[in-house]
A and B are shown apart, each in its own frame.
Chain A
Amino acid sequence: MTAASFVSQLLQLAIALLLAPLLLGWVNQCRAWLQNKSAPSLLLPYRTIRKLFHKDAVVAENASPIFRITPYIVFSAMALAAAIVPSLATDLPFAVAADAIALVGLFALARVFIALAAMDLGTAFGSMGARREMFVGFLAEPALLMVLFTASLISGSTLLPTIVETLAHREIAIYPSLAFAGVAFTMVSLAENARIPVDNPATHLELTMIHEAMLLEYSARHLALIEWASALKLFNYSCIGLALFFPYGIAGASEDWLAILVATPVLIGKLVIGGFSLALIETLSAKMRIFRAPEFLGTAFLLAVLGMLVNLLLGS
């Protein structure tokens, strides 16, 4: 563990925390362009977060401590995940703390707490949102694990940095199993980040919302932390996707400062393209009924299993 690895760890965490709202703003802007609407400012998520931090928090009388600590837990889980996912460099002191499976567990921890907090006050919409969130989550998690297992089968390790090292610095080879895993991962991340075929992030119609319904009781700094955490979650999923399927440009363990400096613009470039494709997917598809979600996520799971089977059959 050298000074360089610590610096790259800090740099990566700082970039994740700072750029996550920007990514959200970029996706919203692209979506507005594609739908012929006038686009909100790229910096709108920052302004929202700042505005919310300046307000006074209102908490319901019968709220339990869970309701109060949830925003902090969710935010720190997402920040920790951002430190683990190798987005800039693979030589990270934090990354050995948790492998891909523990990372999925970290996302699950955040989900459980936010669902508990939503049910805490006993409002109808909160508990409805919590139930739906758990419903989507329990279908999406195994699919995500299968995707990560496919990548682990190729590289022989569940540690994300090792996977990235193997995939980025191998001889050029085509992995059909990764194509399956890529499609499955896209579907899972759409569902997990409350994006359009499953949930609509822009909706304020209570009957159709999933993620937003859970946040109705939050205000001020609590809401700001949760909004920031969901932006971070989108950032983390994008970085996992980039690490698994487009790992080129991430600085390896043996590389020097220059590689890390180069990795930053490369990451931003990849995120710009990724954000645009996300907006494109959201524009092209219509929101599904909630009871179609099992079919959608079941397909993702089967595709991921298929990827593993193809990997075992073809050995690639």
Chain B
Amino acid sequence: MSNLPLSAQLINLFAAVLLLLAFAMLAQRRVLTLINLFAAQGFALACSTAIVAYATHQPHLYGSSVLTLLLKVFVLPWLLHRLINQLDVRWEFETLINVPTTMIIGIVLVVFAFNLAVPISQLASTVTRSTLGIAMASVLLAFLMMITRRKAIPQVIGFLAMENGLFFAATSATYGMPMVVELGIALDVLVGMLILGVFFFQIREQFDSLDLKHLEKLKEGE
């Protein structure tokens, strides 16, 4: 559809990149690459938010774009890198379901999200309306990633990626939330990350492993 303005095309492109990275994260086995992919996803998100801000003349979106860039491309990946260095967990981790099956489930989720989004998009009038399906798909894919991973760190990255998807959904459906809400969410994510970092140390001290299946037992096994 070449009659779309350039900004809308760029937003669509970044939305597609976001979805691509969500899939890459789903297929990734290595922790370090996973963190880099997460940072890349944050970068795509910041770019698309900046373009939405430019296209719709909403200055507060520039703020949230810069916030996303700082938080998701620099601070959170840096924290995660420090965390895995301290915990010394650079292993390849295994998934609960094997990767090709996970990807097929992922495709089903994408079809589901796209179908769900089409009627909503038809009602909307924003320039970004068609990307709502992609935003919902990335939320679902991040959710799937949290479900299929056994270790704590990939689960946390899945959680952060889910927040990326939600943020993108907010931008594409309503041109973003008010600045106060966004600041609050950013702070929440940061604090949540710090607390989870402390949790990692506690979990490992208790169980000598970051495998979350140990947490499924209610009592200490004798």
Asked if B23 contacts A302 (CB within 8 A), the reply is yes
Among A173, A295, A313, A314, the residue within 8 A (CB) of B99 is: A295
Which of chain A's residues has its CB closest to B131's CB? A314
CB distance from B128 to the nearest CB of A (A): 11
**Could you say which residues of chain A place their CB within 8 Å of the CB of B111?**
309
In the bound complex, CA of A303 to CA of B134 (Å): 14
Asked if B12 contacts A316 (CB within 8 A), the reply is yes
**Could you say which residues of chain B place their CB within 8 Å of the CB of A310?**
16, 19, 134
Which residues in chain A, 129-178, are within 8 Å of chain B measured between CB atoms? 170-174, 176-177
B84 within 8 A of A: no
B104 within 8 A of A: yes
Among B1, B27, B106, B117, the residue within 8 A (CB) of A315 is: B1
Contact with A along B1-41 (1 / 0, CB 8 A): 11010000110110111011001000100000000000000
A43 within 8 A of B: no
Asked if A174 contacts B19 (CB within 8 A), the reply is no
Asked if B130 contacts A314 (CB within 8 A), the reply is yes
Interface residues contributed by chain B, number (CB under 8 Å): 29
Contact with A along B115-145 (1 / 0, CB 8 A): 0011000000000001101100000000000
In the bound complex, CA of A299 to CA of B103 (Å): 8
Asked if B4 contacts A173 (CB within 8 A), the reply is yes
B178 within 8 A of A: no
CB distance from A309 to the nearest CB of B (A): 6
Q: A174-B10, A174-B13, A179-B16 are contacts. A305–B107 as well, Cβ < 8 Å?
A: yes
CB distance from B154 to the nearest CB of A (A): 18
Contact with A along B89-107 (1 / 0, CB 8 A): 0000000000110011011
**Could you say which residues of chain A place their CB within 8 Å of the CB of B103?**
298-299, 302
Among A176, A183, A302, A306, the residue within 8 A (CB) of B12 is: A176
In the bound complex, CA of A313 to CA of B4 (Å): 14
Asked if B4 contacts A176 (CB within 8 A), the reply is no
How many A-B pairs have beta carbons closer than 8 Å: the answer is 73
Asked if A313 contacts B107 (CB within 8 A), the reply is no
Contact with B along A277-316 (1 / 0, CB 8 A): 0000000000000000011001100110110011011111
B110 within 8 A of A: yes
Asked if B17 contacts A294 (CB within 8 A), the reply is no
Among B4, B10, B23, B100, the residue within 8 A (CB) of A295 is: B100
Interface residues contributed by chain A, number (CB under 8 Å): 25
Asked if A179 contacts B13 (CB within 8 A), the reply is yes
A180 within 8 A of B: yes
In the bound complex, CA of A278 to CA of B44 (Å): 26
Q: Which of B2, B12, B106, B107 has the most CB of A within 10 A?
A: B12
In the bound complex, CA of A40 to CA of B118 (Å): 56
Asked if B10 contacts A313 (CB within 8 A), the reply is no
Q: A170-B2, A298-B100, A302-B103 are contacts. A180–B20 as well, Cβ < 8 Å?
A: yes
In the bound complex, CA of A314 to CA of B114 (Å): 10
Q: A179-B16, A309-B110 are contacts. A299–B10 as well, Cβ < 8 Å?
A: no
**Could you say which residues of chain B place their CB within 8 Å of the CB of A312?**
114
In the bound complex, CA of A171 to CA of B5 (Å): 12
Asked if A180 contacts B16 (CB within 8 A), the reply is yes
Asked if A302 contacts B104 (CB within 8 A), the reply is yes
| 30 A-B contacts (beta carbon < 8 Å) | A173-B4, A174-B12, A176-B13, A176-B15, A176-B17, A179-B13, A179-B16, A180-B16, A180-B20, A295-B27, A299-B100, A299-B103, A302-B23, A302-B103, A302-B106, A302-B107, A306-B23, A309-B110, A310-B19, A313-B114, A313-B118, A313-B130, A313-B134, A314-B12, A314-B15, A314-B16, A314-B131, A315-B1, A315-B130, A316-B9
Top 8 A-B pairs ranked by shortest CB distance? A176-B16, A173-B2, A174-B9, A171-B2, A298-B100, A315-B1, A316-B1, A176-B13
Chain A positions near chain B (C-beta within 8 angstroms): 170-174, 176-177, 179-180, 183, 294-295, 298-299, 302-303, 305-306, 309-310, 312-316
List 11 other contacts, CB 8 Å, given A295-B100, A314-B12: A173-B1, A173-B2, A173-B9, A174-B9, A179-B13, A180-B20, A306-B19, A306-B110, A309-B107, A310-B134, A316-B4
